[in-house]
Amino acid sequence: MEKILAPPWLEALLSTAFFSICSAHRDAPRSECNMYCIDCHGPAFCFYCRSSKHKDHLVIQIRRSSYHDVVRVSEIQKALDISGVQTYVINSARVLFLNERPQPKSAIKVGTSSHVCEICTRSLLDPFRFCSLGCKLVGIKKNGNANFMLSKKNEGVVGSREGMASRMPSKEEDDEELREGIIIQRDNSTYQSTPRTPHSNSSSRRRKGTPHRAPLGAP
């Protein structure tokens, strides 16, 4: 029996056009079609279509960075083995790109990066094999030495469908957490925001000393 190296919905996801305006909710504030249903394998849809038609389905949300489609690692790793794909942290959200991006000519000429994508030779920040999910899929078809399918131990981590996109962020959260292509971390460790050190209130709680007045008649 032939081993399945990639799920059947992945190619459909990578060829889907996102961020058009939903015809059914054109006048609504969140009408961009930036959702994809892994169960249905259909076209992109908006926030309101998800609530009405895909409520109990596996849904991921696609975002934009420098005009390229990205997906949060925390969402896609519940459905795919993303090992070997370069990840980036953009405004505190760890993401990866869906498809290959054009390589700047200046970067090609300089060639200072010691890490490049095996498929498109794009420069990578870290020692990964691929720059995107699309390039990993091409590598799987070409060489068969990679895999998108989750192992049994990872499936236990994924658990049920909860958490895939169970809580949809508000528009304000989207704008705050993922803006246009500002990469703020280069390593591949899990991003953790630095906790704020609480200001000490000891000074405000400190009991002031009782002022002493000079005795009357003192020189």
pLDDT value at residue 55: 86
Kindly state the tokens that stand for 67.
């005009």
**Four-point Cα dihedral 151, 154, 159, 164, nearest 10:** -100
Can you tell me whether residue 45 is helix, strand or coil? strand
pLDDT value at residue 194: 29
Contacts of 201 (CB under 8 A, 6+ apart): none
pLDDT value at residue 144: 86
Kindly state the tokens that stand for 120.
């498109």
Asked if residues 104 and 31 have their Cβ atoms less than 8 Å apart, the reply is no
DSSP notation for 154-192? HHHHH-SSTTSSSSPPPHHHHHHH--SS-EEE-S-SPP-
Q: What is the pTM of this model?
A: 0.70
Asked if residues 180 and 64 have their Cβ atoms less than 8 Å apart, the reply is yes
Contacts of 55 (CB under 8 A, 6+ apart): none
Encode pLDDT of 122-135 as tens digits.
Answer: 999 999 999 999 99
pLDDT value at residue 4: 80
For the chain, 219 residues long, give each residue's pLDDT as a single digit of tens.
457 889 999 999 999 999 999 999 999 999 999 999 999 999 999 999 998 899 889 999 999 998 999 999 999 999 999 999 999 998 889 999 999 998 776 655 544 568 999 999 999 999 999 999 999 999 999 988 889 998 765 554 444 444 444 344 444 444 444 443 333 333 333 333 223 334 444 444 445 555 555 555 555
Asked if residues 116 and 86 have their Cβ atoms less than 8 Å apart, the reply is no
> Which of 135-154 are b and which e, b meaning 16 or more Cβ less than 10 Å from the residue's Cβ?
bbbbbbeeeeebbbebeeee
